[in-house]
Amino acid sequence: MQVMFVQQRYLQSQKKKFSMFLQKNRYTLILLTTYAALPTCPDIQPPVKTVGPLTDADVIKLRPCEKKKVDFQDKLYLAPLTTCGNLPFRRVCKRFGADITCGEMAMCTNLLQGHQSEWALLKRHESEDLFGVQVEGCFPDTMTRCAELISNYADVNFVDINSGCPIDLVYKKGGGCGLMTRTRKFEQIIKGMNYVLDVPLTVKIRTGVQEKSSIAHKLIGEMKNWGVSMVTLHGRSREQRYTKLADWDYISTCAKLANPVPLFGNGDILSYEDAVKAKETGVSGVMIARGALIKPWIFTEIKESRHWDVSSSERLDILRDFTNFGLEHWGSDTRGVEKTRNFLLEWLSFMCRYIPVGLLERVPQKINERPPYYMGRNFLESLMASQNVDDWIRISEMLLGPVPKNFNFLPKHKANSYK
């Protein structure tokens, strides 16, 4: 009987110790039990030891007030230019005073598929102090995932949604201008991207799809509630492309509706007078596209409120800087040289439209007026004014050497932009 009593007392004491052990180490045991229950899969990581109830892997979403801020007010914005708005060209424009730069339009699907050429469009140069990337897509899930990847792997100050692209290939899939008529999808895209980004989300739109049916003013009121940080409005519809003058009266109306969200105006700016008139409409800033391709020193002209008669030798120096930047960016091997040459020729197809201030009968030059054939003040100036592809190739040979045998060039941008 005495032996049984001792055993009973011993078991009770052990039971008490065990319950105290469980009480003290309950969290450890829960983690061990959870880990033991996990399937043996190499992708599943063991639980993270933490001090509190939240693990380091838990993501706390930023509130709107905690997102990174960008001051867009009174800035000169170099438009995201397909083909021509490459990194070397942006470097040239930065030297002439562009405040905001943006990469070329990147296709959402290509980014998600990991296309190297598409991810290269997101590359930023150290001189670009305020830099964004522009994305095109038509589905909320893919655009949101794309925004998440950009947020994690790209060095940007803002992300822009392209809902102004007029190209048939993009529009017929529901992207670009197509988003303006698919407001439900558009709202889901903006809200989804805004949720995963820690930088501002901006949108670029046109006045509408049809020439006589402007819908931008309706969208802008809604986009303010969707969380957009800035809107850029191109003063033409998709149907108009570039053949008609931009409607700055309509841009002015939209700027008032957008307040307090900044609205940038875009269209037909080729001189500082054009920029002054644009700012009088009440916009927060101006975006410059073709004007920068025709004369990249337009940013200096606007900031200094003057006309700059850039000589042909000075323009050749600008082109030489571009080729040096191109060889640095794309490489100085045969492939890099020819890639630089092709982008140089694309740029020359716009730059040839420039008429030197000293030759103008009336100042300033207007962007949609076809420049007449003229003889320059020297041979190089006449050569740079030529709209013949062979003359552009001759200029490229001055900077990059002879072209390969059977070389042929056809500009991508063949749209008629004159009256």
The residues carrying an active-site annotation are: 165
**Burial (Cβ within 10 Å: 0-12, 13-18, ≥19) of residue 52:** exposed
Answer for the pair 262, 230: CB distance below 8 angstroms, yes or no: yes
Answer for the pair 225, 214: CB distance below 8 angstroms, yes or no: no
Helix (H) or strand (E) holding 107: strand 106-107
To the nearest 10°, report the CA torsion of 111, 225, 287, 96.
-80
Residues 6+ apart with CB under 8 A from 120: none
Answer for the pair 230, 71: CB distance below 8 angstroms, yes or no: no
Q: Are strands 201-206 and 76-78 parallel, antiparallel or unpaired?
A: unpaired
Compute how many other C-beta atoms are within 10 angstroms of the C-beta atom of residue 34. Answer: 11
Answer for the pair 261, 228: CB distance below 8 angstroms, yes or no: yes
In Å, what is the CA distance from 327 to each residue of 78, 337, 382?
22, 6, 27
Distance between CA atoms of residues 126 and 129, nearest Å: 7
